[in-house]
Amino acid sequence: MNNQNENIKEMVKEKYGEIAKNSGSCCGSASCCGTENKIVGYTVMKDEYDDLDGYVKDADLGLGCGLPTEFAGIKKGNIVVDLGSGAGNDVFVAHALVGNEGKVIGIDMTKEMIDMANRNKKKLGFENVEFYLGEIEAIPLESSFVDVVVSNCVLNLVPGKRKAFGEIFRILKPGGHFCVSDIVIKGELPANLKKSAEMYAGCVAGAVQYDEYLKIISDSGFENVEVKKTKVIDLPDEILTNYLSDEEVASFRKSQIGIFSITVTADKK
C-alpha cells in the first residue's frame, strides 16, 4: 500500500482512538467531522437512534451518517457483521433483530474502540456478540460465513474501497446482502476542503463521487444495487470557514456541488 493510504489509515486510527479515550467527556459526542477547531459535538450527519430496539446510549458516539439497520432486512437467527463497529452502536441494534438465535460481529481497526465495545458488551451480558480487531480491506472472517453486512459512515474512510467491497462479497453467503450508510460527493469539492487532514479523518474529503461509489459495488460482483435513502449534508459555515475563505464559502453555496449521505443495499447471488 502506498504511503498516502497508510498515512490516511494511521490518521483515522489516531482520531477515532482519541474519541474512544475521551468518551464521557465533551469529546465523547464528537461527530465524524473531526475533534478540533471547536467542531466537537456537531453531529451534522448522524441519524437518531433513540427509539430503536437495542439502542445503547453509551455505545453511540455520534459518528454515523445513517441508519444501516433500517433497510438491512435483518432476520431472527441471522449472522450479521458491522464493519467499523466503533463502540458497538449498530451491533447492539442488530442484536435486537437477530435475537438469541443469531450472532453479531463487530470489526474495527482501532483498539480503543474494540476495548470500549467489549466494556459495553460486558455490561449487557450478550453471549452472541463478538468484537474483533481487524481491517476492512482484510476482514478476519472466513468466506461465505455471513448473512448480512452493515456499516455506518466507515467505508469512505478506507483507502482501498475496491478491496473493502471485495472483502464484503467474500464473507457474505450466497444469497446474502449488505446495507451501508456512507458519504459520497457529487461534483468537485474545493481543494482546501478536500486536502484537509481533519476532513480525511472525518467522513467528507475521503469520500468518492456518487457514481464511482456505486460502480465499485457493481464491479465487486454485487447485484440489485439500490440507493434506499439519500440525505444532503448541509455543512454549516462554522465548519466550512475552518477550511475555506469567505469568498470560497459563498461560491460553494451557489454551486451544484453536494455532499450526501446515502444508504445502499446490494445482493450476492
Strand order, beta sheet including 172-186: 129-133, 103-108, 79-83, 146-152, 172-186, 258-267, 223-232
pLDDT at 121 over 50: yes
Q: 243 near 199, Cβ under 8 Å? A: yes
Output the pTM of the full model. Answer: 0.83
Looking up cell 500500500, which residue turns up? 1
Phi, psi angles (nearest 5°) of residue 45: -105, -20
The tens digit of pLDDT for each residue in 36-79 reads 333 333 344 567 787 899 999 888 887 888 999 999 999 999 99
The backbone torsions φ and ψ at residue 195, rounded to the nearest 5 degrees and listed phi first, read -85, -5
Contact 184, 208 (CB under 8 A): yes
Instruction: Report strand pairing: 223-232 vs 258-267.
Output: antiparallel
pLDDT at 162 over 90: yes
What Å distances lie between residue 110 and 11, 200, 202, 243, CA to CA? 11, 16, 15, 27
pLDDT at 241: 84
pLDDT digits over 57-69, tens only? 888 887 888 999 9
3-state secondary structure of 59: helix
Predicted pLDDT at 37:
33
Contact between residue 221 and residue 150 where contact means Cβ atoms under 8 Å apart: no
pLDDT for 17 = 62
114 neighbors 78 (Cβ within 8 angstroms): no
* pLDDT tens by residue, 196-217: 544 544 556 578 899 999 999 9
pLDDT of 164 over the 90 cut: yes
Q: Find where cell 493510504 sits.
A: 5
Unique residue bearing C-alpha cell 486510527: 13
Q: What grid cell was written down for 224?
A: 440489485
Whole-number percent of the chain with pLDDT over 70: 80
What residue type is 79 in one-letter code? Answer: I
CATH number attached to the domain at 3-267? 3.40.50.150
Average pLDDT of the residues of the chain: 84
Q: What are phi and psi of 41, to 5 degrees?
A: 90, -5
pLDDT at 257 over 70: yes
User: Please, what is the end-to-end C-alpha distance for the chain in angstroms?
Assistant: 30
Using only C-alpha atoms, the chain has a radius of gyration, in whole angstroms, of: 18
Distance CA 104, CA 81 (A): 6
